[in-house]
Structure 1
Amino acid sequence: MATNSIVDITKLSPKFQDLYAKAKDFLENDCIPAERIYNLQMGKGDDRWKVIPPIMEELKAKARSLGLWNLFLGREYGAYGAGLTNVEYGLIAELSGKSVKIMPEAMNCSAPDTGNMEVFAKYGTQAQKDKWLVPLLNGKIRSAFAMTEPAVASSDATNIELNIRREGNEYVINGRKWWISGAGDPRCAVHLVMGKTDPDNSNRYKQQSLVIVPADTPGITVVRPMQVFGYDDAPEGHMEIIYKDVRVPVENIILGEGRGFEVIQGRLGPGRIHHCMRCIGMAERSLEYMLARVTDPSKRTFGKSLSEHGTVVADIATSRIEIDQSRFLVLNAAQKIDEVKAKGALKEISMAKISAPNMLLRVLDRSMQAHGAAGISQDFPLAHYYASARTLRYADGPDEVHRNQLGRNELKRAAEIADRLKAQKAKSEDLISKL
């Protein structure tokens, strides 16, 4: 088995090595070849929101038979998960990023289901697990996570306004959400909805709660699918939704009233780097497309192969450096989570979250440029990758939020550094005075 440039995978667990080899074969011989079939089997017009390409169910069956199933759930989830470390899952998730539309879902490792399954597994009651987690783990249903709102700056989640009011043995939900990924999928059976149960609480982080809302509950209206550079990502979609007098039983609360922030932080920690892991895979495949393009003998400019132009060679080298830099940050964050959990790895998570999507955008831009007009066409996945990568600079916290958190954490070291520099200066002056 090959040695990764940062992690020697031959020294990781035998179980991981077996799964990694299977995942690599599944990627190359099943998922990538199935991409064109998937697109051909997609419905047309409004049917795009109703038709699930049959090839996906075939791939799921094969992935499950190979043990490539629910790999994102780590050792702490016992029988629910595959027992991999975050570093081990990260290396497999990187592979899945090379076929990001197909492979994550085929392995039941795609967002938003991964985060929602983690919520149910970590915080759900046994009844909630039996009703929602088990079918999600089995790939029988899909789910949505409803947090972002159009009327407020949702990068500060304390701004969220959706109202969750208790009436007797029910919660009544009223509000508008958007960019709710997965909510357009005909298999979407449940929404996890973030809103305020106690808007007057003096602690802004105790105002929010998370409730389980079955997708067929009266009062839910899907307004429209949002588009990303013209892509609507049917059949999953990124939907705008109105919740009007939606009623659910009080037992649908997750963990308890006022504990929404606690839940979403537990959900977003590892999930933030799952996207980063797949970014590495997308970047690797984008560079592979570039290498194939610039060495194609039919693609010559000014009497030279594209690969003979110095600017192209420099772009390839820069891409190689940036991919490996980001891989280091992502795997470093994964290792830190393995050691001290997500709460102790906030610095490492922020660095990876900032780095990976921005790196991917730069690598994609170079690859697209090398492909000429074909690079922005439907003949290559590069344009869709670009749209997805740009979205990831918002998803799970925008760059600015992570930079601010990272910078503030660095500033906490300032006083200690100032004291140390002062002591060093005093020591130096003392030595000089004795000359």
Structure 2
Amino acid sequence: MDFAFDARTEELRARLLAFMDEYVHPAEPVAHEQRARLASPWDTPAVVEELKAEARRQGLWNLFLPDAAYGAGLTNLQYAPLAEITGRSPQLAPTATNCAAPDTGNMEVLAQFGDDWQKKQWLEPLLAGEIRSAFAMTEPDVASSDATNITTRIERDGDEYVITGRKWYISGAMDPNCSIFIVMGKTDPDGPDIRRQQSMVLVPRDTPGVTVRRAMQVFGYEDHFHGGHAEIVFDHARVPVSHLIGEEGGGFAIAQARLGPGRIHHCMRLIGMAERAIELMCRRAVSRTAFGKALGQQGVVHNWIADARVTVEQLRLLVLKTAWLMDTVGNRGAHTEIQAIKIATPRAVVDIIDRAIQLHGAGGVSQDFPLAELYAGARTLMIADGPDEVHQRSLARRELKKYL
């Protein structure tokens, strides 16, 4: 097996690493300072728009989209090390390169399932970074890890669909630039096939009957740089039937197509988050003295650093294998590996970040280091895109099936 990156990947890695060092990391404190002075915490700091303009000028834009008609035309294997690099600054780098969730998944949905009008109206502005979007699937009143439980109704009334329901943790929806929601609900709640009851429709933010009720916190954070996570009420909101994505009953299949790439993108970025934590851990270990010697001379710290390095190398290989399989045999053929990385990566990265926090003492849980925010983000990914237990159940059943 050849573990080397190809020439294009190496060239993009070099450019992206330089962009991170020259622009993104210096912008991190600036972005926080600017946000503190904004009229609304949901407004975009000026430095973020500057980063986006520079990334686009350098051709570091829409790297996630494998379709060359819309994005960089990279394979999953080529994109993986690039997403890892952006994961080192998860608040700024994905947005700066127009590779931030949930926009990435929504652009993939529109590129794959949208019609020409939907692509013109919504995909093109998203590709240009002119607007943001949100994916409204999770609901507070049901176990949304099982998408067949969703209760939001999408009812046909002549030439319109009427949407009624309540969603929460809808990422990006607090951003005033979030102009469009992709909403998943049931068009045929009594249909015999529980995976053909759901559909997806495009709902503009300013549609009457749509109320963004509040921002949901994540471990006390509101995730301003990600556009927050909103609770949204749809009270008989009406959209034309032309806003249906694909066909009626196709919502479950579209969701599965969207979540496969989304899961591996999260894991790619998690590797970068772990690398950032290891870097901070090592810098702290050689610069801080306790009980007469540097922290890096303490045996337990040696163990933490060594274990972190071994873990990251293992995870990276599994993520790259999964990316390769997705490219060669498709998402269905890589199903086991996608679930494996979704289970293994967040929990391992949470542990690495936790050790880094411990090494920083009180500073580790403060706003003076990015570790607390990294921890909150990584820990949340043990729930997002399907909780670990759902993936464990599915993966175990597939393994057991070989012996039945």
Gaps of 5+ in 2: none
Matches within 5 A, 1:17-416: 17-43=10-36, 47-49=40-42, 51-74=43-66, 77-234=67-224, 236-296=227-287, 299-415=288-404
Partner of 1:8: 4
Q: Return the offset for 1:85.
A: 1.1
CA deviation digits over 1:181-219, x for unaligned, max 9? 000001001000000000000110010000000111011
The structure with more radius of gyration: 1
Distance in 1 between the 2:59 and 2:269 partners?
20
Q: Return the offset for 1:332.
A: 1.0
Q: Percent identity?
A: 54
Distance in 2 between the 1:166 and 1:119 partners?
22
CA deviation digits over 1:367-398, x for unaligned, max 9? 01111111111000000000111110111111
Q: Return the offset for 1:342.
A: 0.9
Amino acid across the alignment from 1:301: A
Amino acid across the alignment from 2:60: L
TM-aligned CA distance change 1:391 to 1:46, over 3 Å: farther
Q: SS where residue 17 of structure 2 aligns?
A: helix
Q: Return the offset for 1:307.
A: 0.9
TM-aligned CA distance change 1:181 to 1:46, over 3 Å: farther
After TM superposition, the score normalised by the length of structure 1 is 0.91
Amino acid across the alignment from 1:72: F
Distance in 2 between the 1:46 and 1:200 partners?
47
Q: SS where residue 224 of structure 2 aligns?
A: coil
CA contact (8 A) 2:215 2:231 kept: yes
CA deviation digits over 1:60-88, x for unaligned, max 9? 111111111101011xx231121111011
Q: Return the offset for 1:47.
A: 1.1
Distance in 1 between the 2:95 and 2:327 partners?
24
Q: Return the offset for 1:17.
A: 2.3
Amino acid across the alignment from 2:123: L
Q: SS where residue 245 of structure 2 aligns?
A: coil
Q: SS where residue 268 of structure 1 aligns?
A: helix
Q: Return the offset for 1:44.
A: 5.2
Amino acid across the alignment from 1:7: F
Q: Return the offset for 1:16.
A: 2.4
Q: Return the offset for 1:271.
A: 1.1
Distance in 2 between the 1:336 and 1:38 partners?
38
Distance in 2 between the 1:78 and 1:307 partners?
47
Distance in 2 between the 1:326 and 1:224 partners?
36
Distance in 2 between the 1:339 and 1:350 partners?
17
Q: Provide runs of 4+ in structure 1 moved above 6 Å.
A: none
Amino acid across the alignment from 1:379: D
CA RMSD of aligned residues (A): 1.3
Amino acid across the alignment from 2:78: E
Q: Return the offset for 1:353.
A: 0.7
TM-aligned CA distance change 1:45 to 1:21, over 3 Å: closer
Distance in 2 between the 1:142 and 1:54 partners?
16
Amino acid across the alignment from 1:58: E
CA deviation digits over 1:219-246, x for unaligned, max 9? 1111110101110112501000100010
CA contact (8 A) 2:38 2:45 kept: no
CA contact (8 A) 2:168 2:232 kept: yes
CA deviation digits over 1:125-172, x for unaligned, max 9? 011000000000000000000000000000101000001111000000
CA contact (8 A) 1:19 1:67 kept: no
Q: SS where residue 40 of structure 2 aligns?
A: helix
Gaps of 5+ in 1: 1-5, 416-435
Q: Return the offset for 1:20.
A: 1.4
